Every structure is written in C-alpha cells, then in structure tokens.
Amino acid sequence: MSETAQLDQWQKITTLEEIPILGARVIRAKVGEVAIFRNSENEVFAILDQCPHKGGPLSQGIVHGKTVTCPLHSWNIYLASGCAVAPDEGCTKSFEVKVESGVVWLNREELQRTHG
C-alpha cells in the first residue's frame, strides 16, 4: 500500500527517444534478452527477444502496428502478448511496461525471474 513499494516495483530502463521508431532496443536482464519495441504511435512493448518459432531475434524484425515480423521466417508476433498471429502458434514471454514523461519502466520482479 505504500507508494514507495509501488515505485520500487518499476525499474527505469530507457527513454522513448532511445528506442528507434518501428524498431527495438535490447536490454539484458536475468530473465534473458528483452526487446523493447516502439511503434509509429509511440506505444512501447517489451517481449523476450526470442521468436516462439525457432528463437529468432525479434528485435531485428520490422514493426507493423502492434505486431513485429520475425527476421528469420517472417512469423508475425503480437507485441502486447508475445504470441504468434494465427495460423502460427506459440508465445514468447511478454513484460509489463510503463511509459511516463518519455521514460520507459519495466516491472523489476518480472525482469529478475529466471527464464522458464
């Protein structure tokens, strides 16, 4: 209930400006490499930088609206959920994101969980 506890839950990661539009910036966390995406509406999403298909680097894909196209075999992945657009199947981990005054925050606890 304390405000400090709530603030502690969030970790400052980067700024909106440091994420290329329609691209991503990768950060290394305990959980693995996390790709932080920005779309043309300046919405920010964070998912594990591993395609649910064969682990392709999603951060190197192209963002369209709320999806990213994997650079390896062109699956489309929803940025909010980390799940593949049908007919493909499977999900990569997605992370909670908060953007405030151009600063991007991620949930500290989620970043520290070990993968899997």
Q: How far is the CB of 52 from ligand FES (least distance, A)?
A: 7
Sign of CA dihedral 25, 84, 76, 74: positive
For residue 90, give both structure tokens: 């499977």
Facing residues of 90 across strands?
Answer: none
Out of 10, 37, 45, 75, name the contact with ligand FES by CB under 6 A.
75
- Contact track, ligand FES, 29-58, x by CB under 6 A: ----------------------x-xxxx--
Q: Is 82 in the site for ligand FES (CB under 6 A)?
A: no
DSSP, collapsed to helix, strand or coil, labels residue 75 as coil
Q: How far is the CB of 55 from ligand FES (least distance, A)?
A: 6
Residue with tokens 């650079």: 71
